[in-house]
Structure 1
Amino acid sequence: MCGRGIDQVLAHPCSPEIYEDYMRSAAGYVLLAEQANGPIPRRNGSSYVWGAALEQFKSMQPDARIINLETAVTGSNDRANKGINYRMSPENADCLAAAGIDCCLLANNHVLDWGRAGLVETLTTLQKLNIKAAGAGRNDREARAPAMLSLADARLLVFAFGSASSGIPFKWVAMSDTPGVNLLPDLSRASAFEVADQIMAARRPGDLTVVSIHWGSNWGYDIPDEQRIFARALVDKAGVSIVHGHSSHHPRAIEIYRDRLILYGCGDFLNDYEGIRGYERYRDDLALMYFADLDPTSGSLHALKLVPMQIKNFRLSIPSRRDIEWIRQTLDRECRPFGTRVIFESEQQLACVAQRATT
């Protein structure tokens, strides 16, 4: 989430005015973070927020960098009456290019925070930066269309869907003549089969597929049965390589099902929550970078490496060894019921493996 407080410390911030019950200026979130962790410089360059993550990208050299962009990128003042509204100035959007982002997923509960015009400006801004988008569009056809990324050995199709379980209003759905998001009617098996049919209709031989879904609650580790059934159905019927789930503010369980990767909740990679109290036990200051190595022919998972990061001063940094061990233990505990374990790959890197691989 690059909006609100994050936007305020970049070079070209939006007007700070917001309309929350407990905060009327986005600059207030900067002050909360400074009270927690010390001064934050202002008017930062486009690479500031990524900090230590840039070195990890350089080291790992992923073929595709895909994120859920949970903010509008707009100067629009057409505020949705929903309590919390995120926006980032289009002039600050070059921070996405600074991280080499290839694809932004937009089927979430904040992309229309500043109206349909704000969504259109978000799409236009990403297009100018040559960043692909999926999950929202100027009409329903565009919202349903996958992003297509050319890899060295294959074509990657990225489909994005939103679920009302994450707080997306049904009125945000894209229609034939109305901008909006690609919203699922529900998380039933029948809906999963409809998604699978869409995938198979778009896919060519040799294509790899990712299905990204914004679903579920912000906090807690429970994985609803409907999510597990939905994700597995996508693998069973469409051979999806990765089900990329998000909405939770902290990482949730990871499953390797039939050699396919299911991420039930990736957690936040960047946010402006420093200094906000009430959910400290979930350590939402700790983030993960997910590096999935796929077989380019079959789409099966070779390996999943996890690189822990810490959000501090609105910037990603390397956590302490104690914090890395905390996130390893926590995620390992949540993964065990799904047949996976989280182990140390190196001092600052974790791996998620099937339990049979640990014996």
Structure 2
Amino acid sequence: MRARIGAHRIIALMPGRDPHTFTPASWARIVTSILGILCLPMLPTACAAPREAPLLHSITPTQLPASPTPGPATERSIPASPSPASVILGLPGEQLAPHHTRGISSCSRQLSRVWELQVRKYDNGALLAGAADVWLAPDEKGLPVAQWPIALAVPFASDWRELTFEEAQRIMTEGSPFVAVMPWEVLKPSLRSLRVDGLHPSDPGYPLVETWSLHARPGFEALAQAFSPCLQTALAPEPALHLAAVGDVMLDRSLGEQLRAGDLAYPFAAVQPLLTAPDLTIGNLESGLGMGGRPEDKGYVFRAPPEAASALAQAGFDLLTLANNHAMDYGAEGLLEALQWLHAAGLATSGAGENAEAAHRPAMLQVQGLKLAFLAYVDVPVEVRGFDARRWQATAERPGVAWAEPARIQSDVQAASRQADAVIVLLHSGYEYVPQPSPPQQAAAQAALEAGAALVIGHHAHVLQPIEFHEEGLIVYGLGNFAFEDAGPPMSAILNVWLDADGVREIGFTPIWIEADGRPRPATPEEARAIHARLQEMAQESQP
């Protein structure tokens, strides 16, 4: 047997066997002999001492007592109780999300008016007897205060995607060198949760749920009773906003003809459920839209019919960026008309406007209690025939697009950060049909992250481009085309992002195939394997 360990996965090979045919259980047996020597670098918890298996509820989770309305912890009247000079509160070290820690601190400050609290953290669910007076533990033996979905996480570039509930139970009880077990709320974007019986941790009915309860040593029951209601609020699962993003959408040519004929559903009929299910869906409108204006003197000019605005709204889009090299194919008049049609259809826009202030103004959308700011920019090379899209840059007196100047991006992001929980930058940049990002593309994306953006989503190259995971945030350089006739390979994907108040929690991709007339559809299993393989390859190559 030969084992190769990289930054993202372990591959075990045996003579005459295809490594992709192994089940999770057989993988675990294969590596048993090397567990004492090798550990997966990205998943240190996988090599730690086994923890007590969480309680899993596949049908009806334990009902928690009624808790106060979520919000700032409210003060309670704490009953009289014999209280020592100091009380030790035991908390799990790495199993709490940042907002949980903040909530517990608020509760602790209230109780400290009666008891002097000292917080001690422990790992792996193991608390030595007598180490704390009141403590949280992953069981149902104390006062129930929280239930969290549990993720079985693998490196993002892993080709392992799902498993059965029985396989999940086996991993929970026996462990696996390839899987980290953690509350979904503390997942990081460089990891990806495995689907269990086809369900993601955000889906209703997801079967892996962990119950936490509050314990107290004899004599400290009153403290536990006083602490419990506040903890239920502090430890309530934080909603994660589901954002879907796609690449270039061009509704001229064949798709435009269908719209002009009155079939508004045609362009997105095959993918509409994938666009309407998320909380927010965004894309890049790679054309003008309307009837007015005069065509620019450039290689390609595109203009979608007015019906396209209603078709986009009906398909499930919420926001479109117009910061690209086709938004003004019919001049300033065409741009302003497109904005009117889109806004009349209830769609938000970003990256273009009647002047520079409007083009750089963030689109603010609030969903699931999160306020998101969207900024959009363009920086593309001069066309072979000499047309320079930079001439469309908006000024104080002239309509246009927001150009991707790193210094301006940073000031815009910093200003938007003061108004929103998270800033997302949409970047139209790079070289067409080149998978690797261009230097201007990289500079703009890095500037956005350094200024505080949580996520940068790119397009323009007409091909899928790399994904980078940084401490500051995430860069998806290019999503390729989404609805575009005759412009590059048919491989595409919908980017799915789960965000919370602490930033990006997890990302994933839904493979998409583009038909000859530009119409997107879900990829077949064979097509999906090729798309996933390409995304995994680029994720591995681009690790900082």
TM range (shorter): 0.7 to 0.9
3-state secondary structure, aligned to 1:65: strand
Letter of the structure 1 residue corresponding to residue 490 of structure 2: D
Runs of 5+ consecutive residues of structure 1 not aligned to the other structure: 13-42, 185-190, 341-359
Runs of 5+ consecutive residues of structure 2 not aligned to the other structure: 1-248
* Cα offset, 1:97, TM superposition: 0.7
User: In the superposition, relative to structure 1, how do residues 228 and 314 fare at CA in structure 2: closer, same or farther (>3 Å)?
Assistant: closer
Equivalence for 2:275: 57
Question: Which stretch has the larger CA shift, 78-87 or 46-55?
Answer: 46-55
Picking from 303, 313, 325, the partner of 2:506 is 303
3-state secondary structure, aligned to 1:287: strand
* Cα offset, 1:229, TM superposition: 4.1
User: In the superposition, relative to structure 1, how do residues 173 and 206 fare at CA in structure 2: closer, same or farther (>3 Å)?
Assistant: closer
User: In the superposition, relative to structure 1, how do residues 11 and 239 fare at CA in structure 2: closer, same or farther (>3 Å)?
Assistant: closer
- Are 2:282 and 1:72 aligned? no
Whether the aligned pair in 2 keeps the contact of 1:106 and 1:181 (CA below 8 Å) is: yes
Letter of the structure 1 residue corresponding to residue 364 of structure 2: M
Equivalence for 1:111: 327
Letter of the structure 2 residue corresponding to residue 132 of structure 1: A
Whether the aligned pair in 2 keeps the contact of 1:69 and 1:104 (CA below 8 Å) is: yes
Equivalence for 1:337: 541
Letter of the structure 1 residue corresponding to residue 453 of structure 2: V
Whether the aligned pair in 2 keeps the contact of 1:193 and 1:234 (CA below 8 Å) is: no
Looking at structure 2, the residues matched to 101 and 248 of structure 1 have their Cα atoms a distance apart, in angstroms, of 22
- Are 2:383 and 1:170 aligned? no
Picking from 278, 290, 302, the partner of 2:495 is 290
Equivalence for 2:411: 197
Equivalence for 1:356: none
User: In the superposition, relative to structure 1, how do residues 315 and 194 fare at CA in structure 2: closer, same or farther (>3 Å)?
Assistant: closer
Equivalence for 1:2: 250
Looking at structure 1, the residues matched to 346 and 318 of structure 2 have their Cα atoms a distance apart, in angstroms, of 8
Looking at structure 2, the residues matched to 11 and 247 of structure 1 have their Cα atoms a distance apart, in angstroms, of 24
Looking at structure 1, the residues matched to 534 and 416 of structure 2 have their Cα atoms a distance apart, in angstroms, of 38
Equivalence for 1:182: 402
Looking at structure 1, the residues matched to 495 and 441 of structure 2 have their Cα atoms a distance apart, in angstroms, of 20
Letter of the structure 1 residue corresponding to residue 431 of structure 2: S
Please give the residue correspondences for 1:35-54 in structure 2 after superposition, counting only pairs within 5 Å. 43=261, 45-54=263-272
3-state secondary structure, aligned to 1:336: helix
User: In the superposition, relative to structure 1, how do residues 202 and 321 fare at CA in structure 2: closer, same or farther (>3 Å)?
Assistant: closer
User: In the superposition, relative to structure 1, how do residues 229 and 314 fare at CA in structure 2: closer, same or farther (>3 Å)?
Assistant: closer
Looking at structure 1, the residues matched to 393 and 467 of structure 2 have their Cα atoms a distance apart, in angstroms, of 29
Equivalence for 2:485: 272
Looking at structure 1, the residues matched to 427 and 478 of structure 2 have their Cα atoms a distance apart, in angstroms, of 9
User: In the superposition, relative to structure 1, how do residues 11 and 264 fare at CA in structure 2: closer, same or farther (>3 Å)?
Assistant: closer
Residues 91-112 of structure 1, C-alpha deviations (whole Å, 9 max, x = no match): 3321111112111100100011
Looking at structure 2, the residues matched to 248 and 303 of structure 1 have their Cα atoms a distance apart, in angstroms, of 24
Equivalence for 2:347: 131
Equivalence for 1:214: 428
Which structure carries more relative contact order (alpha carbon 8 Å, separation 6+)?
A: 1
User: In the superposition, relative to structure 1, how do residues 148 and 228 fare at CA in structure 2: closer, same or farther (>3 Å)?
Assistant: same
**Aligned residue pairs: how many?**
291
Whether the aligned pair in 1 keeps the contact of 2:253 and 2:485 (CA below 8 Å) is: yes
Larger Cα-atom Rg: 2
Picking from 324, 332, 342, the partner of 2:528 is 324
Whether the aligned pair in 1 keeps the contact of 2:370 and 2:421 (CA below 8 Å) is: yes
Percentage of pairs with the same residue: 27
Whether the aligned pair in 2 keeps the contact of 1:107 and 1:134 (CA below 8 Å) is: yes
Whether the aligned pair in 2 keeps the contact of 1:241 and 1:260 (CA below 8 Å) is: yes
Please give the residue correspondences for 1:139-154 in structure 2 after superposition, counting only pairs within 5 Å. 139-154=355-370
Question: Which stretch has the larger CA shift, 201-210 or 86-95?
Answer: 201-210
3-state secondary structure, aligned to 1:266: coil
Looking at structure 2, the residues matched to 240 and 124 of structure 1 have their Cα atoms a distance apart, in angstroms, of 28
* Cα offset, 1:266, TM superposition: 1.0
Letter of the structure 2 residue corresponding to residue 140 of structure 1: A
* Cα offset, 1:198, TM superposition: 1.8
User: In the superposition, relative to structure 1, how do residues 78 and 194 fare at CA in structure 2: closer, same or farther (>3 Å)?
Assistant: closer
* Cα offset, 1:44, TM superposition: 5.2
Looking at structure 1, the residues matched to 428 and 539 of structure 2 have their Cα atoms a distance apart, in angstroms, of 20
Letter of the structure 2 residue corresponding to residue 71 of structure 1: S
Letter of the structure 2 residue corresponding to residue 173 of structure 1: Q
Equivalence for 2:202: none
User: In the superposition, relative to structure 1, how do residues 223 and 111 fare at CA in structure 2: closer, same or farther (>3 Å)?
Assistant: same
Whether the aligned pair in 2 keeps the contact of 1:206 and 1:297 (CA below 8 Å) is: no
> Normalised by the size of structure 1, how large is the TM-score?
0.76
- Are 2:100 and 1:100 aligned? no
Looking at structure 1, the residues matched to 358 and 479 of structure 2 have their Cα atoms a distance apart, in angstroms, of 25
Whether the aligned pair in 2 keeps the contact of 1:231 and 1:243 (CA below 8 Å) is: yes
User: In the superposition, relative to structure 1, how do residues 166 and 319 fare at CA in structure 2: closer, same or farther (>3 Å)?
Assistant: farther
Whether the aligned pair in 1 keeps the contact of 2:323 and 2:376 (CA below 8 Å) is: yes
3-state secondary structure, aligned to 1:217: coil
Residues 131-183 of structure 1, C-alpha deviations (whole Å, 9 max, x = no match): 11111101111111011111112111000111133755221111122111111
Looking at structure 2, the residues matched to 259 and 293 of structure 1 have their Cα atoms a distance apart, in angstroms, of 16
Letter of the structure 2 residue corresponding to residue 9 of structure 1: E
Residues 270-306 of structure 1, C-alpha deviations (whole Å, 9 max, x = no match): 1011xx7xx6xxxx21221111111x2111x221110
Equivalence for 1:122: 338
**Relative to total residues, which structure has the larger helix share, 1 or 2?**
1
* Cα offset, 1:332, TM superposition: 1.9
